[in-house]
Amino acid sequence: MISKIKYRIGKAACALLACTLYLCAPSCNSYLNVDEYFLETTQLDSIFQRKELLIQYIRGAASYLPNEGNLFTSSPNPFGLASDECFTSWNDNRHAGMKYLLDEVTPFSTYFNNYPNYYQGIRKANMVLLRIHEVTDLETDALRDYMGLCYFLKGYYTYLLLLQYGPVPIVPDEPFAVDADVETLSLERSSYDECIAYICRNMELAHEFLPQERTLTEANMPDYGVPLAVMSRILLYAASPQYNGNATLYGGWNKKDGTPFINPVNENSKWGRAAAAAKRVMELEGGNKYELYYVMKESGSYDVDSFAAQYPEMLAADPNFLQNFPNGAGGIDPYKSYTYIFNGEATRALNKEIIYSCTPAHQGDSPLWIASPKIMSGGNGLNLTQDMVDAYRMADGKEINGSPLYPVGSEAYAPGGKAATFSDYTLQPEVVKMYLNREPRFYATVGFNYSYWQGTTYTGDNAASYTNLAITYYSDGNSGTNSVDYPEDYNRTGYTCRKYIHPEDNMRASSSVRPKIYPIFRYAEILLNYAEALNELGGSYTDTVSGITVSFDPAEILKHFNIIRYRSGIPGVATYPGQDEMRRLIKRERQVEFMCEGRRYHDLRRWGEDALTAYNAPIRGMNVKARKGDPAENFYSPIVINNVLTRRQFQHKNYFCPIPRTAINKNANLVQNPGW
């Protein structure tokens, strides 16, 4: 175990690496581009003579990392839009994620062609690890850190390849000989499990070498906890039905030696390994390294006590509900506790929930511009689906179809009639009852008809017309379909995502928007990973690396599931409901907790048939063609939205993206993914 110290490599070196960790790849050269290899080898001797040149080379290795915070616009992958959560009002190159489910992506497409870039990053990281000991002016701490970064890059690039393309070739640690024949250079794809093993092997080494803490200038660089979080996520995926025992879909898809690319035999121990990986993160530094972010309750906060007093069945269902957090929901402001993680209010340094983060390259673009109302100079074109909106619970913790708080019939369309304010959030009198008494995460995430947008950074001409507005999505509303100059810039469902938007943010003052970070990994995921893995585990499992033993334990499952509920201001589950129902609850909790964070696409895929069910359901939303003066039900009765943007389809081939044809043309042993 590394002693707990802050690595002080030098401000210039740290800043140099930190600021480039999430730059997009500048080129699309093949991993096996021999001409470039020859050119580079002529320079390597000088690179490994001086620390400054080494740092530049590591920068080059890290520069192929995608900016994962660009979820919707100029995204490096389709994951943010290739889900059932949302779609954009445009199908163009800036929002190319739309094309994946509209069946416009082929092996010949140039969209999301990350395949060669990620291998370039692996190759450079391998080169550093082979030759770093030649650099004579490296301090021991710097040497260990740089080695840890390169092991992390090798594992992380392979993790990214696996997410997008499924099983991929694992390249050797040492470069190919310059006189290697074509057969040697043409690597066969490894199996899914072999890729998982390679990722974990490199993440274990990264965990060993990386420092325990980072300085503020290094905030977006991985420390020793990040590799464990990566393993927690990818081992959970590997244990899931799509990749663990799926003989139906992937039967007969084998390597040349007959090894299945996807193991057709279900191994329950994989759930144990996933649970142990999550617990390992939870136990770092005696369980004190990470915790859920929360804001203490103050005057005007969202009041769980009031709801419990009005609806005593909440306490009857969960007697612990009003205990102080984390044993209950008492003492905190659940709305701010969730909202501040994303909208820039909570600084990275003060937020122990964030394990690994990046700064979106387009702070004023995605998702701020795309989600902001037209009247505030936004694109007005990020559309949440009705199914996602309906996934949020009521304030009593019940689903909308089982709660007395959800209005019945025409009452759903009736205005609430009075303003309400909690935690600096305002509900206008015009907000209809179907949007009242929802759980706090609903208000933190969903913008709906008559949502109140403050946008107080704009102080220019006629500021009163562009700040503190109730936004309406009627065809003749202030963010409706009545644009002459930009006729496509309107919201299609009557819902948008305001999760990453600070109350001060206003696109009319785009230079003054609150800086944000995007949480690539956060502690809430680790807790739900642990609960899900334990729920699926039959018996006990002891991890051979960490020595951690985990067992199926209903009390443990509920404890770590309920803390997510409590931070959200709703009751937990007091009594274990059985494996099937607990599985359903965990899936729903992940859907809501990680809404519009890029996780949903991967969850639906790994759960197998869930993807086919969710994606092939019709997209519903409000009727934004209705006018403000029409009967309320004209707008508020959900309709099926059938147009060129919503005719999505999910086929078996869509579980993996196609490997680019250019890569297959260069490698005779590289087989395409099924269906492509």
Question: Could you read off the pLDDT of 247-289 as tens digits, one per residue?
Answer: 999 999 999 999 999 999 999 999 999 999 999 999 999 999 9
End-to-end CA distance of the chain: 46
Cβ atoms 374, 481 nearer than 8 A: no
The tens digit of pLDDT for each residue in 58-76 reads: 999 999 999 999 999 999 9
Q: How confident is the model at residue 43 (pLDDT cuts 50, 70, 90)?
A: confident
The CA distance from 566 to 406, in Å, is: 21
> Which DSSP category does 470 fall into?
E
pLDDT over threshold 60, residue 24: no
Least confident of 8-12, 264-268, 521-525, 544-548: 8-12
Average confidence (pLDDT) over 190-207: 98
Tell me the C-alpha to C-alpha distance, in Å, between residue 584 and each of 399, 478, 538, 607. Answer: 12, 39, 18, 11
Q: How confident is the model at residue 481 (pLDDT cuts 50, 70, 90)?
A: confident
pLDDT value at residue 41: 52
Domains with residue ranges and CATH for the chain: 1-66+114-210 (1.25.40), 220-229+267-361+520-607 (no CATH), 364-514+632-676 (no CATH)
pLDDT over threshold 70, residue 23: no
Least confident of 15-24, 122-131, 403-412, 544-553: 15-24
CA 610 to mean position of chain CA atoms: 18
The CA distance from 234 to 240, in Å, is: 10
pLDDT value at residue 5: 33
Average confidence (pLDDT) over 329-344: 97
pLDDT value at residue 362: 63
The tens digit of pLDDT for each residue in 356-389 reads: 999 887 665 668 899 999 999 999 999 999 999 9
pLDDT over threshold 90, residue 588: yes
The tens digit of pLDDT for each residue in 622-643 reads: 999 999 999 999 999 999 999 9
pLDDT value at residue 365: 64
pLDDT over threshold 70, residue 6: no
The tens digit of pLDDT for each residue in 208-251 reads: 999 999 998 898 999 999 999 999 999 999 999 999 999 999 99
Residue among 141, 124, 142 at smallest CA distance from 47: 124
The tens digit of pLDDT for each residue in 88-129 reads: 999 999 999 999 999 999 999 999 999 999 999 999 999 999
Cβ atoms 230, 522 nearer than 8 A: no
pTM, rounded to two decimals:
0.93
The tens digit of pLDDT for each residue in 560-569 reads: 999 999 999 9
pLDDT over threshold 70, residue 354: yes
pLDDT value at residue 478: 93
Torsion sign across C-alpha atoms 410, 413, 416, 421: positive
Tell me the C-alpha to C-alpha distance, in Å, between residue 595 and each of 5, 65, 80, 566, 576. Answer: 36, 23, 10, 18, 25
Pair of tokens at residue 519 = 């949480």
Average pLDDT over the chain reads 91
The CA distance from 618 to 625, in Å, is: 18
Average confidence (pLDDT) over 30-59: 70
The tens digit of pLDDT for each residue in 290-318 reads: 999 999 999 999 999 998 999 899 999 99
pLDDT over threshold 80, residue 574: yes
pLDDT over threshold 50, residue 33: no
Q: How confident is the model at residue 34 (pLDDT cuts 50, 70, 90)?
A: very low
pLDDT value at residue 487: 83
Cβ atoms 673, 656 nearer than 8 A: yes
Calculated CA dihedral for residues 641, 644, 646, 647, nearest 10 degrees: 110
